[in-house]
Amino acid sequence: MMSMMSMMSMMRTSRLTLALGLVAGIGVARGNAQEPRKTVADLMQVASVKTALAAAKNNEPQAIDDQIRFCEVPAASFKEGDRGTELRRTFQQLGLQNVRVDSAGNVLGDRPGAAPHPRLVIAAHLDTVFPEGTDVHVRRDGTMLYGPGIGDDCRGLGVLVATIRALKQASVQTPGSITFVADVGEEGLGDLRGVKQLFGDTMKGQIDRFVSIDSTGLSIANVGVASRRYRVTFKGPGGHSFGSFGLANPIDAMGRAIAKIAEFQVPGEPRTTFNVGRVGGGTSVNSIPFAAWMEVDLRSSDRAPLASLDANFLKAVDAAVVEENGRWGTPGMISVVKDLVGDRPAGSTPDDAPIVQTAIAVGQTLGLRLGLAEGSTDANLPMSLHIPAITIGGGGHGVDAHALTEAFDTTDSWRGTQNAVLLTIALAQK
Ligand SMILES: [Zn+2]
């Protein structure tokens, strides 16, 4: 869930000017100090790299076909299996080694280099926000593709596979190794379960650099916005609206809580937000409800403001319950349960980190203007572990992500593929 609309509004393009003119070298995490570092400019002189970039452009129709093909396999969060099987087959066809599915359902395939490290993981997420049963047929009209998930993140999956294909066709050899991953559980209540499994178990301690290709456009997200999400349930005895009048009301208690939340003051910098996204409850207009629930999303690009927002939120809910019980003189009648249903860590990769500078240099070399951005993506998790990580867009232009009307404009989308290919090569250097 790149939330491109909010990402675009937060593009920190001004910071990019700091980096203009830089041609970054790659970090020396496990490199040999005697060997000169290859810069992105150096790589552009390598014949196989030129071939790979040409392949990325020439193969774009295939990348778009793949994007559509993956998108037409339903993949709600927790139900990514069929789409994962499709990716697994494709990884095998394109010659990745040790193609495997881990216990969470992440699909992995290796492209070994001269040495196991540095090891780059480049990933795109399998899951979508759309529930089972959604019509995922993709309609094509000129340069436009229409279909739920076509940008977020079928574009990422298409570019991931196009990158593997370009490296293969050009026989690119890298000093470090690359693992390609199609991961589960990025969206919503998936709560990053795919990358949590990847970094916590499947590839624990083995990942030196991480890039997520998420959604569309061209940007480098190096700040991971943290979120905490709750489902809050208010309960009471319920009864007849006329006959039992005088009982505390769970929906009224929830209304009191929402009124308090709506008045929260939050900092604009670091950007901190709150949203009551869904509510429900009650049985009929003439019944005092016995239950009501709401789902609430709290976010910040920094830990401290999120912690304080979280504390205020919990306090507001408890105070609302006390007020509703007090209103009717029925202490304890309404009870509340606050279930934490999402917890994404905050993190960031500094602007001057080699992985960020390399991504900027790649963009400049290809004549792209890449802005730095904030996002809430798979990269949050490695960022929170202090592993160099960024999220890039897959190119093209997306509209209406997370809506049934989602669409993707393929105009010049090959530029996004080239960007991913060159970045992958550059990050598989020492
Ligand atoms: Zn996404």
Domains for the chain: give ranges and CATH numbers.
4-225+346-427 (3.40.630.10), 226-344 (3.30.70.360)
Residue 215 Cα to ligand 1 midpoint, Å, equals: 6
Residue 152 Cα to ligand 1 midpoint, Å, equals: 5
Show Cβ contacts of residue 221 under 8 Å, excluding neighbours closer than 6 positions: 2, 7, 214, 372, 373, 374, 375, 377, 379, 390, 391, 392
Is there a contact between 177 and 119 (Cβ–Cβ < 8 Å)?
yes
Which secondary structure element, helix H or strand E, spans residue 7, and what is its range? helix 4-9
Tokens of 109: 């395939």
The environment of the single-atom ion ligand 1, i.e. residues with CB closer than 5 A, is: 1-2, 152-153, 214
- How high is the pLDDT of residue 321? 98
- How high is the pLDDT of residue 26? 42
Averaged pLDDT for residues 12-23: 34
pLDDT tens-digit map of 303-322 = 899 999 999 999 999 999 99
Residue 187 Cα to ligand 1 midpoint, Å, equals: 7
- How high is the pLDDT of residue 36? 62
pLDDT more than 70, % of the chain: 91
- How high is the pLDDT of residue 100? 98
* Beta partners for residue 178, in sequence order: 111, 120
Residue 214 Cα to ligand 1 midpoint, Å, equals: 5
- How high is the pLDDT of residue 190? 87
Residue 186 Cα to ligand 1 midpoint, Å, equals: 7
Residue with tokens 């960020």: 356
Is there a contact between 109 and 179 (Cβ–Cβ < 8 Å)?
yes
- How high is the pLDDT of residue 188? 80
4 or 74, which is more confident? 74
Q: What is the average pLDDT score of the chain?
A: 92
List phi, psi (to 5°) of 4: -65, -35
C-alpha span between 223 and 374 (Å, rounded) = 5
- How high is the pLDDT of residue 38? 81
- How high is the pLDDT of residue 294? 98
**Is residue 289's pLDDT more than 60?**
yes
Averaged pLDDT for residues 139-157: 97
337 falls in which pLDDT band (50, 70, 90)? very high
Residue 191 Cα to ligand 1 midpoint, Å, equals: 12
**Is residue 42's pLDDT more than 70?**
yes
pLDDT tens-digit map of 177-200 = 999 999 999 998 888 999 999 999
- How high is the pLDDT of residue 189? 81
Please choose, from the candidates 390, 301, 400, 409, the residue with its C-alpha nearest in 3D space to the C-alpha of residue 123.
390
Residue 128 Cα to ligand 1 midpoint, Å, equals: 7
Averaged pLDDT for residues 146-163: 98
Is there a contact between 225 and 301 (Cβ–Cβ < 8 Å)?
yes
**Is residue 11's pLDDT more than 90?**
no
> Can you state the percent helix, strand and coil of the chain, rounding each to 5?
35, 25, 40
30 falls in which pLDDT band (50, 70, 90)? very low
- How high is the pLDDT of residue 14? 35
Residue 36 Cα to ligand 1 midpoint, Å, equals: 37
Residue 1 Cα to ligand 1 midpoint, Å, equals: 3
- How high is the pLDDT of residue 35? 56
Residue 204 Cα to ligand 1 midpoint, Å, equals: 23
Residue 131 Cα to ligand 1 midpoint, Å, equals: 15
Residue 317 Cα to ligand 1 midpoint, Å, equals: 31
Averaged pLDDT for residues 256-263: 98
Averaged pLDDT for residues 271-290: 97
Averaged pLDDT for residues 132-145: 96
Averaged pLDDT for residues 126-146: 96
SS3 at position 279: strand
- How high is the pLDDT of residue 18? 32
Averaged pLDDT for residues 392-415: 96
Residue with tokens 């991971």: 224
Q: Assess whether the previous peptide bond of 153 is cis (omega < 30° from 0).
A: yes
269 or 2, which is more confident? 269
